Amino acid sequence: MKINKSLFGTTPDGKAVDKYSITNDNGMTLELITYGATIQSVLIPCADGKIRDVAVGFDSLDGHINHSDYEGNTVGRYANRIHNAQFTLNNQKYCVSANEKGKTCLHGGGEFSTAVWDAVEDGNNSVVMSYTSPDGAMGFPGEMKSKVRFTLNNDNEVVISYTAICSADSPINFTNHIYFNFTGSTENNVLAHTLRIDSDAITPVDEDSIPTGELRAVKGGAFDFNEEKAIGRDIDADDDQLHIGRGYDHNFCLNETAGAVITAKEETSGIEMNVYTDMPGVQLYTGNFLDGTIIGKGGHPLIKNAGFCLETQFYPDTPNQPQFPQCNFKAGEVFRSTTKYQFKF
């Protein structure tokens, strides 16, 4: 195991952005950059002799700053959406950043995903990044101190552990927004990848992608991934939810299990990924709004369905949905969460 550090680039306001590369004894490499506490690359040495980068994104810092759809970013304070960019806590109304269509708060207003995080190496296989969000940033209460530990071990597991503590009562919800494509190139879409999600229900959404409050059973429908199937098999089905999202862009309510809650596979590369998490939900997003106008790694356009995201999380809009598993944390109470991506190749 080893870690290498290098300069990835400099932001327009002069902040240095570092890249950390963690390589395990099997030749797998996890690359991280401090801009957005971002997973830059996941390099897999496949059985056919090819090294595939399964993380969709950009070759340069410019792409992350000027063209990103959160590729590989850490997102918070509240991952996913908050209805009308407001919520009430302790009888006080908070108006937060309405950064999506002028009315929805998406991914906490983008603060954490565009910040340059501090980083330190921890041993020979972990990098810990930290960021402090000031009181009132994006309209959220309290000063929040956050840390994300990224680990690559010799079991070919990428482990992401989040901790956060706020000086005021606050909702907290973190995730990583990595887009996967196991073929190693966005010349290919991900519709032939197979997916299994241990989930019996989704939280259906309205035209603004805000949960209606219902838990809708998936059995036998387009959203049923309890048996492994191709991502693209039902993506064009006549389903109101697929019409709204132009594909999958929905929270799946995860069943409690001691094993992997998600498995993804791709035949040509031979890569399999198992996901373990302590979060109650996962957002499956299939890159429906990528349209080829943005250029990604290797000079290839980011086409529709160029990648798929598995954003482990509390459910969207939980601060306004008291029937959902709650994510309000008291002042001084520590938020902790861990998600593990285990690769086989």
The enclosing domain of 205 has a CATH number of 2.70.98.10
Model confidence at 25: pLDDT above 90: yes
Catalytic one among 71, 111, 266, 311?
Answer: 311
Quote the mean pLDDT of the chain. Answer: 98
Q: What pLDDT band is residue 258 in, cutting at 50, 70 and 90? A: confident
Catalytic one among 64, 83, 107, 177?
Answer: 177
**Residue 177 falls in the annotated catalytic set:** yes
> How many angstroms separate the CA atoms of 233 and 236, rounded?
8
Give the tens place of pLDDT for each residue, 144-177.
999 999 999 999 999 999 999 999 999 999 999 9
Average pLDDT, stretch 212-232?
98
Question: What is the per-residue pLDDT for 127?
Answer: 99
CA-based Rg of the chain, rounded to a whole angstrom?
Answer: 19
3-state secondary structure of 190: coil
Give the pTM: 0.98
Give the tens place of pLDDT for each residue, 75-88.
999 999 999 999 99
Please name the helix (run of DSSP H) or strand (run of DSSP E) that holds residue 62, with its range, or none: helix 61-67
> How many angstroms separate the CA atoms of 187 and 105, rounded?
32
> How many angstroms separate the CA atoms of 37 and 72, rounded?
8
- Do you know the residue count of the chain? 345
Question: What is the per-residue pLDDT for 36?
Answer: 98
| One-letter amino acid for residue 14 of the chain | G
Question: What is the per-residue pLDDT for 251?
Answer: 98
Structural domain count, the chain: 1
Per the DSSP assignment, residues forming a β-bridge with 95 are: 86
Q: Which domain holds residue 220?
A: 2-344
Q: What pLDDT band is residue 130 in, cutting at 50, 70 and 90? A: very high
Q: What is the 3-state secondary structure (H, E, C) of 322-336?
A: CCCCCCEECCCCEEE
**Residue 311 falls in the annotated catalytic set:** yes
Question: What is the per-residue pLDDT for 165?
Answer: 98
